[in-house]
Amino acid sequence: MAAIDLFCNPSSLCIDRPSLRVGSSCFSVEGKLRRSGIAYMASSVPIKEESRENLGCSVTGDSFIRPHLRKLSPYQPILPFEVLSTRLGRKPEDIVKLDANENPYGPPPEVLEALGSMRFPYIYPDPESRSLRAALAEDSGIESEYILAGCGADELIDLIMRCVLDPGDKIVDCPPTFTMYEFDAAVNAARVIKVSRKLDFSLDVEQIAEVVEQERPKCIFLTSPNNPDGSIINDETLLKILTLPVLVVLDEAYIEFSGIESRMSWVKKYENLIVLRTFSKRAGLAGIRVGYGAFPFSIIEYLWRAKQPYNVSVAAEISACAALTNPVYLENVKVALVLERERLFKLLKEVPFLNPYPSYSNFILCEVTSGMDAKKLKEDLAKMGIMIRHYNNKELSGYVRVSVGKPEHTDALMLCLKRLG
């Protein structure tokens, strides 16, 4: 049976620490309000004697934080490149970075040219990202009215949740998968129903249907290709899930590497489908932060209302538009990564302590076998300047994920794996 989790990890809590005092005098909200001239407004709200005392002397900053956030485990992002470089004692260019599914070829040259000749960095960006959405309409074949851009697909995941979920509402998550869904659900005080994938990482559709019927979740997050294993969702499976009374958010961050068509245009037909994509992988723009999504008309209107007005920066819009002017480059890079994925897969298969899973994406998940410890493998490779991804969660503790890099990155990885074997 699926497990319902309230994503609250008390281990990250700091609420047991002693009260924070600012200098010798206590932080007094009441006094501050008086001085700032809004004491009248504030005093019109009756404050109980007890809470006044709290405010005066023993208040801690975290008491202002919403209770569910006080229990939130922080998201564990990768280390910034410069920090990593210092820690490893290696120059950034000497690090083989295969831990975050970035695109090592970077963006087409047009992007840097466009950034260098940016004319209006001092003017706020277009809140509707009109140029980008027009370019995306051409790129995807779906009209720009269905498209909304964001500061990475990450922002759109959070924005969808903010628009859809009331505190206590449920989402369905299908682990192992991209962990931002459960993280954002926790930030939005939602509950997560986990329907684990089967052993081959395919979706358990029957279980999903049962959970949707019994628990009435608001939405389900699906990923195709799925991060971390690279499996895809076929039409039949997606169509079955779309018949359920639940909003389906299909994350296609890696769709370009899969050889299958994006389902962006499906949002015209299915009122309960949202499709998310990104420039991070396809165009090597992870550091610039541009994502986009296709939404049914009945939904997109509310995202427009709720989003931050300037969520896509001038630099981000210029970069993404410039990247789309060179489809040949994007195609060549994709082909290079797909070819390299196949080569990497064959080589990893020959490593006696790794069992790689076939992938439709720009990464390969490997089970670490033969008594080799996955975490130690990751750490040993890091000492040699090769970064791969290891997981702290129980389900994936015996696995590592290797992003597909350039041929020389594969060669360096294989050399180090040989040494470790």
Ligand X SMILES: Cc1ncc(COP(=O)(O)O)c(C=O)c1O
List, in order, residues 6 or more apart from 53 with CB less than 8 Å away: none
CA-closest candidate to residue 404, choices 284, 323, 320, 285: 284
Among 154, 173, 229, 317, binds ligand X (CB under 6 A): 154
For the CB of residue 144, give the shortest distance to ligand X in the complex, in Å.
19
Q: Annotate 45-64 with DSSP letters as a single string.
A: S---HHHHHIIIII--GGGG
Q: Which is nearer to ligand X, 291 or 405 (CB)?
A: 291
Within 111-130, which residues bind ligand X (CB under 6 A)? Answer: none
Q: Are 120 and 310 in contact (CB under 8 A)?
A: no
Indicate the SS3 state at residue 14. Answer: coil
Determine the interface stretch with ligand X among 75-83, 150-158, 213-221, 299-307 (rule: CB under 6 A). Answer: 150-158
- Per rule CB under 6 A, is residue 286 in the interface with ligand X? yes
Beta strands in 279-319 (DSSP E): 291-294
List, in order, residues 6 or more apart from 306 with CB less than 8 Å away: 159, 162, 163
Q: Which is nearer to ligand X, 71 or 334 (CB)?
A: 334
Distance between CA atoms of residues 160 and 209, nearest Å: 22
Determine the interface stretch with ligand X among 37-45, 146-154, 183-191, 202-210 (rule: CB under 6 A). Answer: 146-154
The helix/strand count (H/E) of the chain reads as 17, 13
Could you give the string, one character per residue 218-247, with x where binding to ligand X holds by CB under 6 A and - elsewhere? -----x---x--------------------
CA-closest candidate to residue 263, choices 134, 140, 157: 140
Residue nearest to ligand X (CB): 152
- Per rule CB under 6 A, is residue 293 in the interface with ligand X? no
- Per rule CB under 6 A, is residue 207 in the interface with ligand X? no
- Per rule CB under 6 A, is residue 144 in the interface with ligand X? no
Structure tokens at 136: 């995306």
Q: Which is nearer to ligand X, 142 or 316 (CB)?
A: 316
Among 135, 136, 147, 153, binds ligand X (CB under 6 A): 153
CA-closest candidate to residue 244, choices 218, 274, 263, 276: 218
Q: How many residues bind ligand X (CB under 6 A)?
A: 13
Q: Which is nearer to ligand X, 164 or 286 (CB)?
A: 286
Q: Which is nearer to ligand X, 173 or 251 (CB)?
A: 251
SS (H, E, C) 165-191: CCCCCEEEECCCCCCHHHHHHHHCCCE
Structure tokens at 366: 């490997």
Within 249-278, which residues bind ligand X (CB under 6 A)? Answer: 251, 253, 278
Could you give the string, one character per residue 89-108, with x where binding to ligand X holds by CB under 6 A and - elsewhere? ------------x-------
- Per rule CB under 6 A, is residue 311 in the interface with ligand X? no
For the CB of residue 388, give the shortest distance to ligand X in the complex, in Å.
15
Could you give the string, one character per residue 159-198, with x where binding to ligand X holds by CB under 6 A and - elsewhere? -------------------x--------------------
CA-closest candidate to residue 296, choices 267, 276, 266, 262: 267
Determine the interface stretch with ligand X among 53-61, 67-75, 148-156, 369-377 (rule: CB under 6 A). Answer: 148-156
Determine the interface stretch with ligand X among 147-155, 193-201, 259-267, 366-374 (rule: CB under 6 A). Answer: 147-155
Q: Are 358 and 345 in contact (CB under 8 A)?
A: yes
Distance between CA atoms of residues 359 and 403, nearest Å: 11
Per CB under 6 A, residues contacting ligand X are 101, 152-154, 178, 223, 227, 251, 253, 278, 280, 286, 291
